[in-house]
Amino acid sequence: MSYRAILCLACLTYLTGTQAQEKKWVDLNQNGIRDLYENPDADIDLRVDDLLSRMTAEEKTKVLLNYAPAIPRLGIDKYYTGNEALHGIVRPGKFTVFPQAIALASTWNPSLIREVAAAASDEARGRWNELERGKRQHTRSADLLTFWSPTVNMARDPRWGRTPETYGEDPYLASQIGIAFVQGLQGDDPHYLKTVSTPKHFIANNEEHNRASCKVEASEQIIRNYYLPAFRALVVKGRAQSIMTAYPAINGVPCTANKWLVSDILRREWGFTGYVVSDCGAVSNMYDRHHYTNSYMEATVAAIRAGVDMECNGDCKECWTYSNFLVPALDKGLISEREITVAAAHVLRVHFKLGMFDDPDLVRYNSISPSVVGCPIHRQLALDAARQSMVLLKNNGILPINVKKVKTIAVLGINADKCEFGDYSGEPLNTPVSPLQGIIDRAGDKIRISTLPWDEKSQDYAKESDLAAKSDMAVVVLGINRAIEQEGRDRKSIGLPENQEKFVREICKVNPRTVLVLVAGSQLAISWEQANIPAILNAWYPGEQGGKAIAEALFGDYNPAGRLPLTYYGSLDYLPPFNDYRITNGRTYMYFDKKAVYPFGHGLSYTRFEYGNMSVDKPQASVGDTVRVHIEVKNVGQYDGDEVVQLYLREPQGDKERPVHQLKGFRRIHLKRGEKQAVTFELDREALSYWDADNHFVVRPGTYEIRIGASSADIRRRLEFRIEDRER
């Protein structure tokens, strides 16, 4: 059938559907519904068009503000966009606090992450309903149906202060975790969204010290292969309904004025139908920081024409571009009402999908009770997520702690008696559990737990050393916090702070049976610790139940199986300058050619896994074929436990821009002692293709090597297959 015939058939189908909707509407209108946009059974685009036809140009501009006022004559309530749900809802009030995003990525378990996001969105709807669906919510950036989460920028450099918010350095891992998170937030109702997910920051938002004026230089090949895939996955597969643009300029054009990114790629290539919101102050930054435009009004026009539907304004009210300059720009003829209408349509379409214009009884999410907030099920889920995120970095046999042999433990360090949640964290409704409290709760009746509060001012650790020396073993809980890494604050070094480094060395001197627990949101250069400390557990920022999960891992109640979503470098000397965005220049496990302290995907267990028979269903494949890979994994150790089976692909040699190998599949499986399981992976055309130097997605013919193992550096089995230069 020709394209024209298909188009005509589509038009006929649309018109037939429209006529049916109009007939249904006549029937409904007779039953007291006033306007078409109020008809819940009408086509959503017809409803949007009908509402827009009743709005003045100025009213349309009000929809495009993150603090959108009410329009009472049309039944439009105010809505204050800007809430966060990175690892639990931030405001208003108290909620369940789950482990930080980087910890969620360390579970390598998308199904669990979907549960976490679904629990968070349940709590959002529960609180929204408690506040009479927003009518009693008056705090800015605190309405509860839209969230600026998740953060899927690639964590390309350990200095970046927002690494804790991300899912790590690998596009595939970030995509899989991110898709699950978006789906959990937005729900599974065929007609209504539970909440809206807004992946951010589109794209390459990776520096804080100069973020308002950052200039990123990178080839389209690098952008397509590294900085865009996670966003594409969350839009195309996750069906995210909103996107936030980023502060930087990409090759000279600020993201918020970048038609190539927003209009060409996001909307035309990926089919995005939601709304685009600027990062806060990003529109005004185009004038006063990037100097890309000559005025705030020009910046406003540039953003609208690029496809940015909504502005998040910054702190300077005079710089609020959309609220101050949209109507004047319209009056001067610098933008058309049609451009305003298109932007308003994108925003309103999502609001209709949230059920904001329908009878509340029609939206099943409006029945979620406020009692879901902080409920026992969610508290347990926070514990499960913390358990699965724990990464055992090193263990020479000192763990798990044997309560029959150990009678005294000294628990020391800056993070021992604190609950560090990381940035964009809400306040927990449930009492949070610190590492110290978790250890006391777990072993206090069998083991004497001794501790001393951390003294920020001392370099004199005589008391702590004495306490450690008198104990059978020491658990030292160190790391970093928001004073060192967060939005607006990059790290200047990647080691432990100097006083902590000295502290742990002093403790190890007096008690060689020392376990280090790290509470942090990004990589730490801990070469000395890896060489000298018997066991190291990475707990990240583990959420409200983190202390309990840490104790369970230390005592073997839970067998840790988290895996690193980042490469741990020994020094910044091994990395290119912070502002070098060429990922191919020695960054991440894909291009780093030196020995890492811990490789991407690393994580130990209390048991051992053996990788057995491996096969591929198409040793000779054609371009476009899906290749299936099978491997057997057996638990040959003494504990039940989880293994994260990781598949990396090495492509045919020839393109110097391509990685050594790249993650293309993973599966977290649970095996009892002695149990064996077959694991299957599928490598489809998308997995086998990449963007080449000629700016095309291609599958290169040649010999590929499949590498399966327990980390990017611990490959257990290899198998080759070939792709012929033809397509069936």
Domain assignment of residue 429, yes or no: yes
Domain assignment of residue 668, yes or no: yes
- For 15-25, letters b (16+ CB in 10 Å) and e give eeeeeebeeeb
pLDDT of residue 338: 97
How do strand 609-616 and strand 627-635 relate by DSSP bridges? antiparallel
pLDDT of residue 11: 37
Q: Judge if 457 and 542 occupy the same domain.
A: yes
Please report which residue ranges of 141-289 form alpha helices under DSSP H: 171-186, 220-222, 229-236, 259, 282-288
End-to-end CA, the chain: 21
Domain assignment of residue 194, yes or no: no
- What is the mean predicted confidence (pLDDT) over 2-18? 35
Structure tokens at 706: 């499949």
Domain assignment of residue 403, yes or no: yes
Distance CA(251)–CA(253), nearest Å, equals: 6
SS3 445: coil
Catalytic pick among 279, 309, 417, 625: 279
- The per-residue pLDDT for range 203-253, each reduced to its tens digit, is 999 999 999 999 999 999 999 999 999 999 999 999 999 999 999 999 999
pLDDT of residue 726: 63
Name the pLDDT band for 10 (thresholds 50, 70, 90).
very low
Amino acid in position 4: R
- What is the mean predicted confidence (pLDDT) over 301-311? 98
Q: How many percent of the chain have pLDDT more than 70?
A: 95
Domain assignment of residue 215, yes or no: no
- The per-residue pLDDT for range 457-474, each reduced to its tens digit, is 888 899 999 999 999 999
Across all residues in the chain, what is the average pLDDT?
94
Is residue 279 annotated as a catalytic residue, yes or no? Answer: yes
Q: Judge if 559 and 423 occupy the same domain.
A: yes
Structure tokens at 412: 């020391």
Amino acid in position 297: M
pLDDT reading at 314 higher than 90:
no
User: What pTM was estimated for this model as a whole?
Assistant: 0.94
Name the pLDDT band for 316 (thresholds 50, 70, 90).
confident
CATH number of the domain residue 683 falls in: 2.60.40.10
Distance CA(644)–CA(108), nearest Å, equals: 7
Please report which residue ranges of 131-193 form alpha helices under DSSP H: 171-186
Name the pLDDT band for 493 (thresholds 50, 70, 90).
very high
pLDDT of residue 717: 98
Distance CA(444)–CA(579), nearest Å, equals: 49
Domain assignment of residue 48, yes or no: no
Q: Judge if 453 and 562 occupy the same domain.
A: yes
Q: Judge if 616 and 562 occupy the same domain.
A: no
Q: Across 541-608, where does the E strand assignment appear?
A: none
Distance CA(725)–CA(675), nearest Å, equals: 41
- Number of domains making up the chain: 2
Number of residues assigned to the chain? 728
DSSP 337: H
- What is the mean predicted confidence (pLDDT) over 9-16? 35
Domain assignment of residue 713, yes or no: yes
Distance CA(661)–CA(658), nearest Å, equals: 8
- The per-residue pLDDT for range 268-284, each reduced to its tens digit, is 999 999 999 999 999 99
Please report which residue ranges of 462-497 form alpha helices under DSSP H: 462-469
- What is the mean predicted confidence (pLDDT) over 675-696? 96
Q: Judge if 572 and 617 occupy the same domain.
A: no
CATH number of the domain residue 576 falls in: 3.40.50.1700
Q: Which of 114, 113, 85, 109 is nearest to 97 (CA)?
A: 85
pLDDT of residue 24: 45
Q: Judge if 614 and 687 occupy the same domain.
A: yes
Domain that holds residue 408: 387-591
Q: Judge if 571 and 615 occupy the same domain.
A: no
Domain assignment of residue 147, yes or no: no
